[in-house]
Structure 1
Amino acid sequence: MSASVEPLHGIDYSLYFDVAALLAGDLPPAPTPLYGTREDGHALFYAGQVNLAFGDPEGGKTWVALYCAVEALRKGGRALVLDLDHNGPGPTVTRMLAMGADREALSDPTRFLYVEPEDRTHAITVVADMATWGPDVVVVDSLGELLPLFGSSSNSADDFTIVHTRILKPLAKAGACVIVIDHLSKGSDSRTFGPGGTSAKRRAVGGVSIRVRVKDAFTPGKGGSAYLSVNKDRHGGLRAHCPTGDREPLAGVFELRVFSDDVLEPTIRAPKDGESAPADFSISAAADPQRLAEDVDALDALDPPPLSQRDVCKRMKWGGQRATEALRAWRERSQS
């Protein structure tokens, strides 16, 4: 606060943000997403914010997050992978190499770091290091394993707030685009709303929350794809470049195309006008192989055989995504 302002009742105005100085100059521009760049140049995730990518297992969440880490390295920046799911350094680095990460950058500890925290002390030490190291992208995989590391419950708002304050918020304050991976519960109501557990998770998202739903199952040698929908966008910088009309507009389609045996071509295709992701929030059959097999058996028993997705939806009373996945698998089995 300007020194010319007389103190009132002993108030120390230096403790408060100087709004007058802000308004006297140019107001800062609204934040815009910086990582997870689509083919049209618009990005998904915000720098300096906690972002969320959530969905079912095997839906492509980790692929999307690592894609952003690779992007940071390509831009000459730094990336940290905080692997609490114990995916392993080998598989993680292999995925990043397949998506075009530079070997020298991955080998350089001033550019890329990978860690599996052993306990909360280890995790807190890593976060303290990042204040100096200055990561551009941090992948936290996953929130479901980070909370137990602190003896915290996913359903407790207080527990989550403690972990957010100790781990996630400091990483964002260090300037990083923090991409936290989280999972969906099995309850239909909570799945529609967002990730499982306390609603404090959603409130803590300062950037964007992206729902990741498998489109084509991610399989070795074949690639895969996933719908990316906007569950929350605090600043509106992503939603402004998405089709309007849906509660969760489609932000893009993440695609992994096989280029050669060891090389994948990752892209995020921008949504077309009027394009949307399936509105069915039920558990994806592609994420549950046993249920997919049961659905295929159910279609095999239909007389007459199923003709289309609409036919399956009508006769089986299934949602569109479930019908599409089951019908595709049934046709593949019928042709084999």
Structure 2
Amino acid sequence: MDYGRYFDVAALLSGTLPEPPAPTYGTRDDGHALFYAGEVNLVFGDPESGKTWLALAAARELLGEYGNGRVLVIDLDHNGPAATVSRLLSLGSSHSALADRARFLYVEPDDRLHALYIVEDMKQWRPQLVILDSLGELLPLFGSSSNSADEYTTAHSTVLKPLAKTGAAVIAIDHLAKGSDSRTLGPGGTAAKRRTIGGSSLRVRVKDAFTPGKGGSAYLTVNKDRHGGLRRHCPTGDREPLAGIFELQPTEAGTLEAVITAARDGESAPADFAIGARDPVRLSDDVAALNSLNPKPTSKRDVAERMKWGNNRASEALRAWREMHDISRKADHDNVLHLPTGIESEEP
């Protein structure tokens, strides 16, 4: 019998195993960070809330004058190389680091095959940080639906997980669902998105609008933290504790200084943060349960009878489930690009 196939509990009890993981990148002003190396992390929020700026600020830690690391940007949102490099320069990244292909790579995958080549390249290049912008565009690249847990899991296992296995902190950017109930859950689409996050998942909400040349700020709350390395350094008491405030401050040199101010004890996100008073974990589980029904739910009465739930719970879960699917269908219709041959595509 090969005991090497099994976890070494004796090593755990003897104290010879390493400490639980702690976040490494996206450093706050108190020295603690937001994103885990070797894990898939998620940043989600409404458009123009500062999601991409936050991810690029983490990249700048490796690409600045005193940085020494490799960063890959996978641009599926077609922000463009000029805009991406311009943002990195404005944050203080060095010209020499951005021009060095041993330090920085930018790519817009043309199709699924191109994406797979990138994953294989990274096994050799071994980046410290990978930004994938955005998750909603990765799924159409694989001909997958945002609503299918199986299809999302396949895309995750094919791209995101292998990138994290290189040791990189993978920061995937996603959009927040629009409905009042589904916003409680987080990003639009299948609940598998939240389940497969191995690092931290941060909700981003604008505090002061981001304006070119003038900066802006956003609240950051912890939607998920699998290892607890970030949550333990956040105020207690809230379902989604405030991790800090991300701010871009203009400098006299014309650049932008990125600062993540840690939340103080007792500090919370504003009351109008729109997370909702209901339990997001239970609602997420309920939506996932409805998504697994075959045939799909048709009414509140249908849900209540089949799931043995009360009317309020059935109504709340069904409304959130419908909002998720309506938003995801619209996103798939509006944003699908580079589908495999034989599937019609439509420019946004």
1:320-335, aligned counterparts within 5 Å? none
Which residue does the alignment assign to 2:238? Answer: 246
Match of 1:85 among 74, 77, 82: 77
Query: Is the Cα–Cα contact under 8 Å of residues 191 and 281 in structure 1 kept in the other structure?
Result: no
1:62 aligns to what?
52
Q: Letter of the aligned partner of 1:275 in structure 2? A: E
Whose Rg is larger? 1
Q: Which sections of structure 2, spanning at least 5 residues, go unmatched?
A: 276-348
From 23, 30, 34, give the equivalent of 1:40: 30
Q: Displacement, 1:261?
A: 6.6
> Is 1:192–1:281's contact at 8 Å kept on the other side of the alignment?
no
Partner residue in 2 for 1:170: 162
Are 1:157 and 2:113 counterparts? Answer: no
Q: Hey, what does 1:226 align to over in structure 2?
A: 218
Q: Is the partner of 1:82 in helix, strand or coil?
A: strand
Matches within 5 A, 1:271-310: 271-282=263-274
Q: Deviations over 1:242-268 (max 9, x none)?
A: 111111111010000111474111110
Matches within 5 A, 1:76-225: 76-225=68-217
Distance 1:88 1:201 in 2: 26
Whole-Å Cα distance in 2 between the matches of residues 79 and 187 of structure 1? Answer: 35
Task: Tell me how large the CA RMSD over aligned residues is.
Answer: 1.6
Moved over 6 A (4+): none
Paired AA for residue 60 in structure 1: G
DSSP-derived class of the 1:280 partner: helix
2:344 corresponds to? none
- Determine if contact 2:59/2:129 at 8 Å carries over to the other structure: yes
Deviation at 1:24, TM superposition (A): 5.2
Which residue is equivalent to 2:308? none
Normalising by structure 2, what TM-score? 0.76
Preserved contact between residue 222 and residue 257 of structure 1 (Cα < 8 Å): yes
Which SS does the other structure have where 2:181 is aligned?
helix
Residues 188 and 281, structure 1, Cα contact 8 Å, conserved in 2: no
Gaps of 5+ in 1: 1-6, 284-336
Q: 1:322 maps to what in 2?
A: none
The C-alpha deviation readout for 1:92-150, integer Å capped at 9, x for no partner, is 00000000001100000000000000001001100111111010010000000001000
Q: Is the 8 A contact 1:80 1:135 kept in 2?
A: yes
Between the aligned partners of 1:282 and 1:248, the Cα distance in structure 2 is 11
Aligned to 1:268: 260
Which AA in structure 2 matches 1:35?
Y
Aligned match of 1:319: none
Distance 2:11 2:237 in 1: 39
> In structure 2, the residue corresponding to 1:188 is in which secondary structure?
coil
Question: Does structure 2 retain, via aligned residues, the 8 Å contact 1:217–1:225?
Answer: yes
Give the count of matched residue pairs: 273
Cα distance in 1 between the residues matched to 2:269 and 2:10 = 45
Residues in 1 aligned to 2:274 and 2:231: alpha-carbon distance in whole angstroms: 24
Aligned in 2, Cα 1:255/1:204: closer, same or farther, shift over 3 Å? same
Note if 1:28 corresponds to 2:28.
no
